[in-house]
Amino acid sequence: MTIIEDQQAKYLIKSLQHHPSPYLIFCKDGGVEWMNQSAQYVFDTSAIDDIAIAPIISHGTSKKIEAIGSSFQSDLELSLREIKFLLRSRVHEIPLDKEESFFLIEVLAQSEAALEALKNTISCLENDRIDMAYQKQYDLASGDLVSVETLLRLRDEKGDIIPNDKLIPLVEGESLFSLVVLASMQKLKEVFAFKKERKLDFTVYLNVSAYTAMQENFCKIILDFVEENDLKSGDLGLEITETAELEDRSRAADYFEKLKSHGIPLALDDFGAGYSSLSYLRDLPISLVKLDKDFSRTVSEQDTQELVKFVVSICKNMELDMLAEGIETIEQQETFLKLGCNNGQGYYHHRPQFLEEFKEEF
Ligand code: C2E
Ligand code: MG
Ligand code: MG
């Protein structure tokens, strides 16, 4: 008899079939036996064997199974068709009788939007709907190109772009997101090949969230990429976002020092907004400070101007480059120049473009 034929399990299945959270039943002898509708939707499964879970080590239960069962939180290793990733879940070990039990797995997600983002990310990875757009960063006085920021562009099934702000914050803490980072780095190879072929001199910045940067193998992945693509010092740079998640700053500083010593500069993104605090300038080997877009929006106001001047003086004293993001008008550009901020980026000068279009400008 399989688990799902058991009378007790049948009740459970019935109650969870339409539950908004994804649930799966995993049997101790291996294999997924059942998924609720939400799990089928998120993983887009038509067959139960699309999905496999690495054996679960239960922490709670001893040989004798308690009647009330037990539960624990765990990162399960999941194989979904061709991709493998860790999945944050709560595992409930449910007794059937004195000898037998099974695992009910509840996929942990903060919200319905987070589940939707998970589903979209899986779908983009499996269907290669991951691309990059390129936006120029320039010297405000001369208009010369100094660097380029790469921006993720994920598409839904209809081919429409999924806004980054709606997806990235919801999935970047998941191990699945590192697969997106790897896929986006594959795309970057083309821009480096173009740069080399045309002997162009600018830094290509990749956005990395603190979650990604703090992963064990991050440094190695970046350094291998530099080697494989024969990149020179200053070819690749990193923009770090969501620094609130940089729990271990000294470890982060070690990673970025190492990368810097290999010619990979670090930019602090969205400075002055959210969690991007002053102390990062002291603790991390930052080369470039990117002032958050919000400063451009309000740069005609006296208070904002005072704040910009304050950051300009810090950057001067610490010998850091500074760049204003989100410049949309000539007035904003001129104000930043007047305040002493020499670099900028924004729709006024250049809108993010896909590679083919971007190449045509050289
Ligand atoms: P960000 O790194 O601060 O990127 C700047 C965002 O501002 C981009 O939005 C860009 O298209 C937009 N932008 C550029 N110029 C202007 C302007 O003049 N006005 C306005 N209103 N917006 C402008 P996008 O591409 O939607 O990206 C949003 C955020 O998503 C990024 O903010 C970054 O935090 C994250 N992101 C983008 N690509 C990646 C990536 O490859 N990896 C990771 N981890 N995060 C990424
Ligand atoms: Mg950025
Ligand atoms: Mg930014």
Of 3.40.50.720, 3.30.420.40, 3.20.20.450, 3.40.190.10, which CATH number belongs to 129-359? 3.20.20.450
Residue 290 pairs with which residues in a beta bridge? 323
User: CB of 50 within 8 A of CB of 66?
Assistant: no
Residue 83 pairs with which residues in a beta bridge? 80
CA angle 19, 20, 25 (to 5 degrees): 55
pLDDT digits (tens, 9 = 90+) for 204-256: 999 999 889 998 899 999 999 999 999 999 999 999 987 667 888 899 999 99
Cα–Cα distance measured from residue 22 to residue 41, given in angstroms and rounded to the nearest whole number? 9
Atom of ligand 1 nearest to the CA of 163: 26
pLDDT digits (tens, 9 = 90+) for 90-120: 999 888 876 778 899 999 998 999 999 999 9
Q: Which amino acid is at 147?
A: S
Residues with CB under 6 A from ligand 1: 135, 151-152, 163-165, 168, 172, 184, 207-209, 239, 241, 269-270, 293, 325-328, 346-347, 352
Helices (H), 172-266: 176-197, 210-213, 218-228, 249-261
Q: What is the mean pLDDT of the chain?
A: 92
User: CB of 300 within 8 A of CB of 333?
Assistant: no
Q: Percent of the chain having pLDDT more than 70?
A: 95
pLDDT of residue 242: 72
For the residues 285-305, what does the mean pLDDT come to? Answer: 97
Atom of ligand 1 nearest to the CA of 290: 3
Substitution site in 152, 180, 275 for ligand 1 pocket (most atoms within 8 Å of beta carbon)? 152
On the question of a common fold for 3-108 and 129-359, the answer reads: no
pLDDT at 318 over 80: yes
Helix (H, G, I), strand (E, B) or coil at 360: coil
Domain boundaries in the chain? 3-108, 129-359
Q: What distances in angstroms separate CA 44 from CA 78, 128, 222, one per listed residue?
A: 14, 16, 32
User: CB of 192 within 8 A of CB of 229?
Assistant: yes
Residue 7's pLDDT band (boundaries 50, 70, 90)? confident
**Residue nearest (by alpha carbon) to ligand 1 atom 24:** 164
Residue 236 pairs with which residues in a beta bridge? 204
For the chain, the farthest-separated pair of C-alpha atoms sits apart, in whole angstroms, at 78
Residue 31's pLDDT band (boundaries 50, 70, 90)? confident
For the residues 42-52, what does the mean pLDDT come to? Answer: 92
pLDDT of residue 59: 60
Ligand 1 centroid to residue 314 C-alpha, Å? 25
**Residue nearest (by alpha carbon) to ligand 1 atom 37:** 151
pLDDT of residue 273: 87
Q: Which amino acid is at 74?
A: S
pLDDT digits (tens, 9 = 90+) for 248-285: 889 999 999 999 999 999 999 999 987 667 889 999 99
Ligand 3 centroid to residue 270 C-alpha, Å? 4
Burial class (CB in 10 A: 0-12, 13-18, 19+), 313: exposed
Ligand 3 centroid to residue 296 C-alpha, Å? 11
Whole-model pTM: value is 0.94
Q: CATH topology for 3-108?
A: Beta-Lactamase (3.30.450)
Ligand 1 centroid to residue 151 C-alpha, Å? 6
Cα–Cα distance measured from residue 274 to residue 328, given in angstroms and rounded to the nearest whole number? 22
pLDDT digits (tens, 9 = 90+) for 167-186: 999 999 898 999 999 999 99
Substitution site in 140, 181, 206, 207 for ligand 1 pocket (most atoms within 8 Å of beta carbon)? 207
For the residues 345-358, what does the mean pLDDT come to? Answer: 98
Ligand 2 centroid to residue 3 C-alpha, Å? 49
User: CB of 170 within 8 A of CB of 114?
Assistant: yes
Substitution site in 164, 298, 330, 348 for ligand 1 pocket (most atoms within 8 Å of beta carbon)? 164
Residue 6's pLDDT band (boundaries 50, 70, 90)? confident
How many C-beta neighbours within 10 Å does residue 159 have? 7
Percentage helix, strand, coil for the chain under 3-state DSSP, each rounded to 5: 40, 25, 35
Q: What are phi and psi of 188, to 5 degrees?
A: -65, -25
pLDDT of residue 1: 64
CA angle 111, 117, 122 (to 5 degrees): 135
**What is the Cα 186 distance to its own chain's centre?**
15
User: CB of 281 within 8 A of CB of 289?
Assistant: yes
Q: Which amino acid is at 140?
A: L
Cα–Cα distance measured from residue 169 to residue 114, given in angstroms and rounded to the nearest whole number? 9
